[in-house]
Amino acid sequence: MVTRILILCTLCFYTIGCNSPAPTTANVQISSDIFILELALDVPSRVKGLMNRTALEKNKGMLFVFTDSNRRSFWMKNCIIPIDLLFLDARGTITALHEMKPEAPKAPEENEFAYDARLSHYWSNGPARFAIELQEGEIKRLGLSLNDRIPIDTVFLQSLAR
């Protein structure tokens, strides 16, 4: 009887431990610097991204984790700060780099469709599983280029994407 209770308790604790919440940030080494990146793991967080942020601290940013590898496009909708963008394939290799500048905000007389239609798109230049947004100027400062590899735990991050 005691053995059954111990086994049941062990299973309960194990199950509770398996349901721990997903992390909200990841420490990622890019060149010689460590960045603390917010994780965008689901559709709402990926859609919102860094919209309406007034600043982005040094060595901070956002890591977008997608459920699949696909050709992707980002834009600067409702973004008021300049952002450097890296697209990464499923192995963490850079497929595209962009220095994105804020665009004119939606005008009062402009409908949502017209606003969306005039925004520039920044493409991944091939299948991308991840994207990283950093403070303006980081691509140049870090000397990043196409085909550089960013060491991220791709398998773990892919398991978190929703």
Domain ranges of the chain: 23-103+117-160
Instruction: Judge whether residue 151 has pLDDT over 80.
Output: yes
Token look-up 């431990």 returns 17
Distance CA 40, CA 26 (A): 11
Long-range Cβ contact pairs of 151-158 (< 8 A, separation 24 or more): 151/28, 151/29, 151/92, 152/26, 152/28, 152/63, 152/88, 152/92, 153/26, 154/90, 154/91, 154/92, 154/129, 154/130, 157/26, 157/39, 157/63, 157/65, 157/130, 158/65, 158/90, 158/129
Q: Does domain 23-103+117-160 have CATH number 3.20.20.110?
A: no
Distance CA 146, CA 123 (A): 13
The predicted pLDDT at position 18 comes to 53
Distance CA 44, CA 77 (A): 14
Question: For all residues of the chain together, what is the average pLDDT?
Answer: 87
Instruction: Judge whether residue 6 has pLDDT over 50.
Output: no
Average pLDDT over residues 70-81: 94
Which tens digit of pLDDT belongs to each residue from 101-114? 999 999 999 999 99
Average pLDDT over residues 66-80: 94
Confidence class for position 13, pLDDT limits 50, 70, 90: very low
Distance CA 7, CA 87 (A): 47
The predicted pLDDT at position 153 comes to 86
Instruction: Judge whether residue 72 has pLDDT over 70.
Output: yes
Q: What is the pTM of this model?
A: 0.83
Which tens digit of pLDDT belongs to each residue from 20-33? 677 788 899 999 99
**Span of 2-11, 36-45, 65-74, 98-107 with lowest mean pLDDT:** 2-11
